[in-house]
Structure formats: C-alpha cells, structure tokens
Structure 1
Amino acid sequence: MVDTAPVLVLCVLALLNSTAESNNATEKIMFITDSGGGLEVNGSVFRCVLDAGAGCTVLPIYTPNPRCPVYDPVEDYVYWSDYALQSVCRVKSSGDDYETWVNVSRGLYGMALDSQLRTIFVFELSQNGKSSLWKVTMDTQILTEVPIEKSSVWGIATDTQNKKLFLAFATKITMMNYDGTEYVTLLNKKTGNHFGMMFDKEGHRLYYADTGARTLGSLDVETNETTVYSNDTVYLSVHQFEGVLYAGPFWDRGRVDEIPGGCGPRSYVYFNASIAGGIRATVFRKYGCSSGWYGRMCNRECGKCFNGSTCDDVAGFCAAGCDTGWIGDTCTTVCPKGTYGESCRNLCDQCADGAPCHPATGTCQAGNLENWREVCHEDRGHVVWALVAVCVFLGLVVVVLLVLLVRWRRMMMTDRQKKSDVTVGAVRNPTYQDDTRDAEAEITNHVYEKMVRVLPPVYETIHV
C-alpha cells in the first residue's frame, strides 16, 4: 500500500525544484545505457538533451554490454561498466573522447562514484554465490578489493557526504563504511534480483527499484521509513534529479519514465523504439556560469584554483588542483599554521613571536626568529647607552638642586641673624643713650618706664 503523505510532500518539493532552474544553466543532459538483447550484443549509449525537447542521439562508440552510468562533475566524464569488455568505460558529457578506461578482468555489473574522494566502486556479478567489490582510485587507476560478506550483490549507491556505501544483497540492503566495516541492515528484501539504487544526500533518501517485488520506492535513512511510489511497472533502475525520478523499465521498448516526486504526472523520454534491453540512466545539468563562479544559481565563488584556472560550474571543484598555499575540495582553505607550499606539504621556519609564514612562499611575515634575536642583540647596546645618558642627566639635576638648596638655607640663616641683631639694639641702646637729664631721679624713672614698655620684647628676643 502506498504511503500517501510522504508522496504528496515529495511531489510538492518536486514542483518547487522544477520552477527554480537557473537561467545560467545551458542544458540538462541524460545519458542512457541500453545493455541490448544479450550479454554481448546490441548494447548502446545514448545522449539526450532534455530541455526544449531536443531529443536523443546514439553515440558512435563500441560498448557491447553497458550498464549503470554515473557522472563525474569534476572532469566532466560519464562512466559506466561493460560486462562484456570487463572494463570501466567513459566519455565526455559532450559525447567526445570515448575510451575503455580501466580493465578489471571481471564481469562488471553495478557501479557508484564519489567525485570528491576521486573513487569509483564497482562490483562484479555473482561467482559461485559471491560477488566481489572493487575500489578504483580515479587519479591512479589502482584497484583495491573491498571486503564484503559472501553473498550476491545486485545494487550499489554512495553517500558521499558521510562516506557510506549502500549494497543490495540477495535479501537485504546494507549500509557500511567505504572500507566495508560497521555495516547495518536497513531494509529486508523478498528476493534476490536486479536492484537499482541512488542516494540523495540532500533529502537523506535512498531511492530503489526492486525488480523482484515490482516496486519503485525510497527509504529515509534517518527515520528508516519507506515510501512506495509505484508497483505497476518493473523498473530496473532509478535516478533522482531536481525532484524528478527517472526510472528505466526492465525489457522495455526504448523509453525512460519521468515521475515528478514519484507521484506523476508521468511522462516519457523516448530514445530508440526498436531496441529491447536493460535500461539505466543518469541525469545532470551543465551550467554556463561566468568564469570564477559556480553552483545552480552561479552565486558561489570559486576557490583558489591552480594558476588562476576556473572551477567546475556545478560542484566548484578545481580540476587542475589547488593553487600553492591552498587545500580542500574547492580550494577555499588556506594552509594550516606552520605549513606552506603545494598541498601544504612544507613546514615553515620558526617565525618571530610565533607569527605564521606566508602560505605560498613560506616567508615569515615578521622575520624569522634568528634575525629577530640579532636585531634584539644590536638594539640592546643602544638601550644600555640610553639608560646611562638618562642616569647622568638625572644625577646632574640632583646635584644642582642640592647646591641651590644649600645656598637657600644659608641665605635664610643670614637673613634671620640680621633681623635678631636689629631687634636687640633697638631695645637696649635707648635705655642709656637718651639720658640727658639729671642723674639719679631721671635715670631711675627713665629706666623704669623703658623697662615697663620694652621688657617684654627683650624677653621674647632673648628666648628666640
């Protein structure tokens, strides 16, 4: 039974997404792999331009049994596995530069890609009831086997944000780390059969097409709730892009179903009405942003790409790598403190005051520590001479002040002595020198009068 509430929500989101397309986008492209009527015959790859009904064209390449296309926005290649060639093949989004990229010498089936980590995961069909999973490093083309349980694998998807793998085994869907550790069962299956999967990291949903149960649905990996969109058609694959599900019917007559939000209205992309085979598709958008900008609305600025080159229009990756002194997926992170150079592999010299060095050249911004010490040693002599000059100046000031103080005290004492002598003479001399009258009577009265009037000041002057 279809859970209608989540379906309606997804339909609304699909309609909103369909109206939010950027005017800077040049074209929306679908690549279709048709594995043909047999394992080694009639296979084809189609390139379809979905906007304005431009239609599909078959690529003039030799790939007899192609499966499971994925798109790498960093280098603008579409990859797929070819069971007959036992190889991973690729071609530019324009349809040019086709090549058999890596030979794995296995009957390859499904694959998934992490463009940030530059890694492709691809598995082979069951051999004696057991499938093998391989990791291909895209920059070096080195293959490494990832340990998984001994069972047949029918589908694969990646959560590139959390670095998780989703594998569809015969009876269950399992989530695990990229190295095969810490796996948990998310969903139990009824039968082991073809199982197309695609993970949408923005919606945290794992979309799946189960041919055994004839079901097109999704699983919310955070709540573990499932939503069934359709059970009236046997779909071999499913791909979600801009809110629309693109489902490839199993053994159909050359079409891919478009289902907005999983609920319709359903439409079709016809690519070839005469070929019957296993249909799988991937959809992406090419952008026409100005140089130095990327994103759906072209409103995100590129990082420091090598030699001023522009970044990828969609994801912002620098195909040529980061400029010297910068790191990160989008080259927006400057070298950590203490490092510099290409990929920040060089260590800075010891800079003065713990200052960082230049992330590109390694030059100390405030000079290195040895130069700083030499400068300090030269400056120390100047400081000592300056201190000596200050001390001499202060000593001279103190000496002058002391001389002035001594002279002032002497002047005060001399002045005080003069005042004492004048006071004593003024009191005593008139007692005897003003005596012009007769002797005894006059002297006695005069002295008495003088003493009565003058004696107290004479007393005070003596004590002072």
Structure 2
Amino acid sequence: MYAKFVTFLTLGARFGFLVPRSTSNDLEMSMFVVETSPVGTILRCTLGISVNCTRLQIKAPFARSVVYDPVHDHVYWTFSEFINRIRSSGENYEHKWFKFDSKPSVVAIDHSSRLLFVLSSSRSSSLRSVSLQTRHQTELPAPSPRLWGLAVDALMKNIFLAEATRVIMMRYDGSARQKLLDISANYFVAMAYDPEGQRLYYNLWTMRVFGSVNIHTRNSTVYSLSNQYPSVTIYEGVLYMTDFNEREKVFKMSRKGKLISDMPCDGSKSGFARIAVFRKYGCSPGWFGRTCSLACGQCLEGSACDHEYGYCTQGCDVGWTGRTCKAESKVRSHDSGTTSTPRSQGHPWLTQG
C-alpha cells in the first residue's frame, strides 16, 4: 500500500496533477563551527549574504572534526578522546557521547547506513566505524600505520584515506583497494567527496596544495599552491572552506576551485575552524531537494530517497535502475528468450554496463 502511495506521488509530480508541499522544509542554510584551540568555541551559524553566528555556552578545547546527521538532526564533533553531539538548534547537548581509547582526529558520516567513521592519528593510526543507533564500534583494516585524512562516499560505500605518499579508495570492509593519487603528506589532509561530480577534493596542509581527483579517470587538477585549508566540505555543489591564515572568514568556491565569495565569521582568531554546512530538511515521503519539489524515483518497496540528491540508497523496485531509479530496465532471459524485469537490490548501478 505504501509503495502505491509513493508511486502516486511520483506520477503526480511527473504529470502535474499533484503539487508537492514544501512548507515542512526549513530552507535556512546552517553551519556549525568547531574551533581547534584551547578555548574550544562552538558556533551555530546561519548562512546568507553574511554569516550570523551564535556562540553556544559549551566548550570543546581542540575540537578536530564536525559532521551533521540529517536523519536525527544531530551535529557530531571530536573532542579529546570523545565524540560529542547536539541538536542543530543548539539544544540537547550530550557531552562525551562516545569515548575512544585514542584521540579521534577526523570523522565522516554515512547517515543512510547509520555509521560514523572515525580516524585516530595519534601514535599509530586506527580506523573504526561506530553505529549511530547502538554505539557499537567496529575496527576496520587500516592500510597504513600513518593516516592523515578521511572521507566517505556514502552512495557507493567507499572510504577515502590519505597516507603519507598516496590517497587510496577502498570498500567499507577494506577490500578493493585502489590508489587514486600520489601525494606527499606528513600532517593533516582535509578531504571532501562530491558524489555528483564524482571528484575527491583535498588540501595538503604542509604542501599548501588544494586540488581534486576524478575517482574514475584518476585525472587530477590543482587549483591553488598557496593556501592551508584545515576544513573542506561540499554541499549543494558548493565548496565551503576555512583558511588557517584568514581565520575570521569562510570561503565559498565553485567545483572548479574558483572563489565565489568570502563571508566574515565572528569566531575567535585563537584557533582555526572546522565546519559542517547543512539544511534541516523536512520533506514528505517521496520528495527531495532544497524545496522538496523533486520527486523520488522508484525506490525499493517505496523506501525513502536521499533528501539532498534523490539517490535510492536501498536500491530500485522491480523494472527500474540507475542511481535515482527513474530509468526502466529489462533483462533478456537466455533460457526462455523472453524479457523480464528483475528486482534491483542494493546498488544496481554498480553492475551497469
């Protein structure tokens, strides 16, 4: 019954007899700033022409990384050997939500799988996943004793890791390791993955190199040789970055590394900042996008699609394929000579030829 309802919504959007309701969606773009300093300032900001920030009455000295979970509206960040979390409204603060036996330096999130990925780079690197539901942690195979950067592709279930001499890509279980890029790193590497452009953006701290690499062709592009960006994140096709030498600003850049604007941020200059940019989505089932005006495709058994990109994270219903499950698919049976419409489980586009 639910699947039929979602199909009705999809057809209604396609043929115009049903207008989506977007009133439940908060269109305001937000940003959380955690400051890597002894002060440990936490800022909750709104993004417009300028950045308007409110200092939260909490401290997290030497916070290192921050991510947002749109499913339950939590912001997570690292602090000493802990991970803290809070609602995007600044309420319901949970100090020391999770404790590690080493200090986590980078976190990345796959909200569809309900997983936090945590990289610790103190003496020897460790890589773990933490369930957002049960808080159970799993040790993952670390390909090198020294790792400097982490990012994830939540759609295709890949992890990106920066080693001392290369950036690699591997599956969540550590299999299918591939080298993407040769680098030279002996300190933190900021990384962010763009699922639409299928490019990994990176900044090599000590080399001051800002660039990207296409994960399929391995073609790399260098945009800048003079900046130290401790934080690189991409949201709605725009790069948001902080600069070690201009700590009072947040920089917006295009996918091609061109500066769009710099926005003043009223944070402390005692430390540099890491940021998470997001909107608090509230789309009804079957819709996605900034204004909830885009219809999901034929997701498996009426499951919800990704709120931002519309990808069907659980796969497609019978007879549909593609990342958004909007393309019809037929497979010919060699035995009977007839055509059939198979159910696409998991990620059907992985096997598309």
Same fold by TM-score greater than 0.5? yes
**In the alignment, which of 43, 63, 67 is matched to residue 64 of structure 2?**
67
Aligned counterparts of 1:240 and 1:180: Cα–Cα separation in 2: 25
* Paired letter, 1:55: N
Cα deviation, 1:38-70, whole Å, max 9, x if unaligned, reads: xxx211221110025351112111322212111
- What stretches of structure 2 of length at least 5 have no aligned partner? 1-21, 298-303, 319-353
Q: Secondary structure at the match of 2:244?
A: strand
Q: TM-score, normalised by structure 1?
A: 0.57
- Structure 1 position 106 matched with structure 2 position 63: no
Q: Say whether the 8 Å CA contact 2:232–2:242 is kept in structure 1.
A: yes
- What stretches of structure 1 of length at least 5 have no aligned partner? 1-21, 304-310, 318-327, 335-464
- Structure 1 position 314 matched with structure 2 position 311: no
Cα shift at 1:93: 1.3
* Corresponding residue number in structure 1 for 2:156: 162
* Corresponding residue number in structure 1 for 2:86: 91
* Corresponding residue number in structure 1 for 2:181: 187
Q: Say whether the 8 Å CA contact 1:126–1:153 is kept in structure 2.
A: no
* Corresponding residue number in structure 1 for 2:120: 124
Aligned counterparts of 1:329 and 1:293: Cα–Cα separation in 2: 14
**In the alignment, which of 111, 114, 117 is matched to residue 115 of structure 1?**
111
Q: Say whether the 8 Å CA contact 1:214–1:232 is kept in structure 2.
A: yes
* Corresponding residue number in structure 1 for 2:135: 141
Where do 1:235-384 residues align within 5 Å? 235-250=229-244, 252-272=246-266, 274-287=268-281, 289=283, 293-300=287-294, 314=307
Q: How has the CA–CA distance of structure 1 residues 331 and 50 changed in structure 2, closer, same or farther, with 3 Å as cutoff?
A: same
Q: Say whether the 8 Å CA contact 2:27–2:290 is kept in structure 1.
A: no
Q: Say whether the 8 Å CA contact 2:149–2:190 is kept in structure 1.
A: yes
* Corresponding residue number in structure 2 for 1:19: none
- Structure 1 position 29 matched with structure 2 position 30: yes
Aligned counterparts of 2:243 and 2:309: Cα–Cα separation in 1: 34
Q: How has the CA–CA distance of structure 1 residues 116 and 232 changed in structure 2, closer, same or farther, with 3 Å as cutoff?
A: same
* Paired letter, 1:27: E
Aligned counterparts of 1:313 and 1:158: Cα–Cα separation in 2: 15
Q: Say whether the 8 Å CA contact 1:288–1:313 is kept in structure 2.
A: no
CA radius of gyration, larger in: 1
* Corresponding residue number in structure 2 for 1:346: none
Aligned counterparts of 1:333 and 1:266: Cα–Cα separation in 2: 40
Tell me which protein shows more strand as a share of its residues.
2
Q: Say whether the 8 Å CA contact 1:110–1:122 is kept in structure 2.
A: yes
Percent identity, aligned pairs only, is 38
Aligned counterparts of 2:295 and 2:256: Cα–Cα separation in 1: 34
- Number of aligned pairs? 289
Q: Say whether the 8 Å CA contact 1:28–1:283 is kept in structure 2.
A: yes
Cα shift at 1:199: 0.7
Q: Say whether the 8 Å CA contact 1:245–1:261 is kept in structure 2.
A: yes
Query: Relative contact order: is structure 1 or structure 2 higher (C-alpha 8 Å, sep ≥ 6)?
Result: 2
Where do 1:40-55 residues align within 5 Å? 41-53=38-50, 55=52
Q: How has the CA–CA distance of structure 1 residues 61 and 228 changed in structure 2, closer, same or farther, with 3 Å as cutoff?
A: same
Aligned counterparts of 1:250 and 1:135: Cα–Cα separation in 2: 29
Cα deviation, 1:174-208, whole Å, max 9, x if unaligned, reads: 11111122212111112321101111111101011
- Structure 1 position 172 matched with structure 2 position 181: no
Q: How has the CA–CA distance of structure 1 residues 225 and 55 changed in structure 2, closer, same or farther, with 3 Å as cutoff?
A: same
Aligned counterparts of 2:42 and 2:112: Cα–Cα separation in 1: 25
Tell me which protein shows more helix as a share of its residues.
1
- Structure 1 position 76 matched with structure 2 position 73: yes
Q: How has the CA–CA distance of structure 1 residues 227 and 302 changed in structure 2, closer, same or farther, with 3 Å as cutoff?
A: closer
Aligned counterparts of 2:264 and 2:68: Cα–Cα separation in 1: 21
Q: How has the CA–CA distance of structure 1 residues 144 and 296 changed in structure 2, closer, same or farther, with 3 Å as cutoff?
A: same
